[in-house]
Amino acid sequence: MSKHHPIEEQDPRFKIANREAIIGVILAIINFIWWYGFAYGLGSKPVEEYTYVFGLPAWFFYSAVVGFLVMLVLVIVVVKTVFVDVSLEDEEEKGDMR
Amino acid sequence: MIEPVFLSLVLFLILIFIVGFWSAGKLRKKSRFLQEYFLGSREIGGFILAMTMVATYGSSSSFLSGAGAAYNEGLGWALLAMTQVATGYFVLMVLGKKFAIMARKYDAVTLVDFLRLRYGSKAITLISAFSIVVFIFAAVTAQWIGGAHLIASITDLNYTSALTIFAVVVIIYVIIGGFRAVVLTDSIQGVIMVGGTLVILIGTIIAGGGVTQIMGDLTAENPNLVTPYGADGSLTAAYVSSFWILVGVGVVALPQVAVRAMSYRNSQAMHRGIIVGTAVVGFIMLGIHLVGVFARPVLPGVEEVDQVMPLIAMEVLPAWLAGVVLAAPLAAIMSTVDSLLLLISSALVKDVYLNYIRPDAEERKVKQMTYIVTSVLGVLAFAAALTPPDLLLELNLFAFGGLQSAFIWPLIFGLYWQHSNKYGALSAMIVGVGSYTLIHNVWPEPFGLHSVVLPVVLSFFAFLVANLLTLKRT
């Protein structure tokens, strides 16, 4: 008898869990591209050529402020529409309780 | 200035002790001591989950040294800090439901528990527990030093008495309340941090004459302060981007964060935790670091930059409000220390003592051991903080990167790769920590990247190679 517990891939909840984990990775990639693109795309210009939004340099405003808000909206939309409620309890335990 | 600050600190301590005693009441009622003490019986709701996550990865380092670094480096540091927004959703999504389900299946109470049951290897269990004890102990001591300095600076107590008060409060608190008390304090702290950050930010903008005025002043002083590259242009895109690993996605592998990802009640709590967590971590990080940047023209010439936050709060806010707001960094340090102390104690009691020394220990004995171990750890950390050995401070700088390079792939592959085995995991841990130690000491910032990046990559390949070579054996 081994103490090693392989993951039982047939559990249908794992399909949902795997999809949601991939969504997390995709969101992080989008977040990184947005953050990097605006910060270094607009921020590498000489300071004299900077434009300003609400007093902040445009690179910072779009990268850090708008970037954060965009990610927040994406996260809310994804969680509300794609994420699924599943029971986290162990199957057998659940059976016992009924 | 002393009185309102002191008063709000006392009020704050009273408040958290009420929470502690309430949690102690819960602790007595629960039948399964370890599950309750180290995990709050997996009953944590969405809002509290979000707050405790944010408090755990944010901690005092952001509130004090983060604002200080932004004061020195300008907007470039605020940009760097925003890499942490990802933690708000990434940790809970990627560890996600799979981790929560597996942890329940295994009846795992700690990250080490999960690794032990997943891979069935004594070596992995002991190396994991050992690295948690060493790294986290160093982190606890460093936090205590910070906390004692903060109390000393705002109350006129000397360092030793400040440390003593702090230590006694923390030890009693952790012992009576356990995980539930710690996450509840995290929530109170999170609320204070959000409110405090907003108030200080507004106050600083007004004191500086508006954002446009402040940016003008900064540009006049040193144009680099408004670029992404830091005050002397040394914050390169590669270096700043590598913080995506150290304080962004790599955070999944920190044991104190992972344990929270198995503590929530149900999937609704997780969903809510993701949304609230992302909003809160983004707001706090943006706010704190903007305060640091904006404080420069308002309060020029601050030498001890960790003091920027307390100084600017006293400068721009009425005394009583500054007092309330300054309870926040103290709260941050306290909750970090609490959760780290609990983590070490779980590694020793649950992962080592119960697995290998006395597997048949009865509940009463386990309880006794837990309280003894936690108290002894607290006293040791107190002693270490009185005259901190250099090695310990060195280890603290090293701690988070070390834990990440040790745990990230054993955890991720363990969850999502059915054929991952103990040989892969063990190789990943050894290569990760080994190469991190080496790089950190002899080749800092290879290729302009933070020293954590390369070990994480190497550890990935070590896992793959060792695992594929031994695939037939398991």
Instruction: Report the CATH number at residue B220.
Output: 1.20.1730.10
Contacts of B403 (CB under 8 A, 6+ apart): B131, B132, B135, B136, B253, B254, B255
What pLDDT was estimated at residue B61?
A: 63
Q: Which of B83, B226, B283 has its CB closest to that of A47?
A: B226
> How confident is the model over B198-232, as pLDDT tens digits?
999 999 999 999 999 999 999 999 999 999 999 99
**Within chain B, what is the greatest distance between any pair of CA atoms?**
70
Mean pLDDT of chain B: 87
> How confident is the model over B236-283, as pLDDT tens digits?
999 999 989 888 899 999 998 999 999 999 999 999 999 999 999 999
Task: Give the pLDDT mean for A23-43.
Answer: 96
> How confident is the model over B292-338, as pLDDT tens digits?
999 999 999 888 887 888 889 888 888 778 877 777 777 777 777 88
Structure tokens of B380? 């040791």
Q: Which of A11, A28, A59 has its CB closest to that of B249?
A: A28
Model confidence at B27: pLDDT above 80 = no
Model confidence at B406: pLDDT above 50 = yes
For residue B467, is it within any domain? Answer: no
What stretch of H or E contains B470?
none
For residue B247, is it within any domain? Answer: yes
Model confidence at B52: pLDDT above 60 = yes
For residue B408, is it within any domain? Answer: no
Measured in residues, chain B has a length of 474
Model confidence at B60: pLDDT above 70 = no
How many Å apart are CA B167 and CA B444, to the nearest integer?
34
What pLDDT was estimated at residue B450?
A: 87
For residue B438, is it within any domain? Answer: no
Q: Which residue has the tokens 């402020």?
A: A65
What pLDDT was estimated at residue B92?
A: 94
Residue-number span of the structural domain to which B81 is assigned: 2-397
Which chain A residues are closer than 8 Å to B90 by Cβ?
Answer: 24-25, 27-28
Contact B266 A17 (CB under 8 A): no
Model confidence at B284: pLDDT above 80 = yes
Return the number of other C-beta atoms located less than 10 Å from residue B352's C-beta.
Answer: 17
N- to C-terminal Cα separation, chain A: 31
How many Å apart are CA B98 and CA B105, to the nearest integer?
10
For residue B439, is it within any domain? Answer: no
What pLDDT was estimated at residue B317?
A: 87
What pLDDT was estimated at residue B1?
A: 47
Domain total in chain B:
1
Contact B97 A17 (CB under 8 A): yes
**Residue B240, Cβ density class (10 Å: 0-12 exposed, 13-18 middle, ≥19 buried):** buried
Distance from CA of B117 to the nearest CA of A (A): 6
Q: Are B351 and B129 in contact (CB under 8 A)?
A: yes
Task: Give the pLDDT mean for B440-461.
Answer: 88
| pLDDT > 70 fraction of chain B, expressed in percent and rounded | 97
Distance from CA of A98 to the nearest CA of B (A): 18
For residue B111, is it within any domain? Answer: yes
Q: ipTM of this model? A: 0.89
What residue type is assigned to position B172 of the chain? I
Contacts of B440 (CB under 8 A, 6+ apart): B398, B401, B451
The single-letter DSSP state of residue B307 is G
What pLDDT was estimated at residue B311?
A: 86
How many Å apart are CA A20 and CA B94, to the nearest integer?
7
pLDDT band for position A97 (50/70/90)? Answer: very low
For residue B58, is it within any domain? Answer: yes
Count A/B contacts: CB-CB distance under 8 Å: 159
Residue A66's Cβ-side half-sphere holds a number of Cα atoms within 13 Å equal to 15
> How confident is the model over B30-47, as pLDDT tens digits?
767 888 888 888 888 889
Q: Which of A20, A40, A90 has its CB closest to that of B104?
A: A90
Q: Where exactly are the structural domains of chain A?
A: 12-83
How many Å apart are CA B165 and CA B180, to the nearest integer?
22
What pLDDT was estimated at residue B363?
A: 82
For residue B418, is it within any domain? Answer: no
What residue type is assigned to position B188 of the chain? I
Q: Which of B82, B117, B223 has its CB closest to that of A35?
A: B82
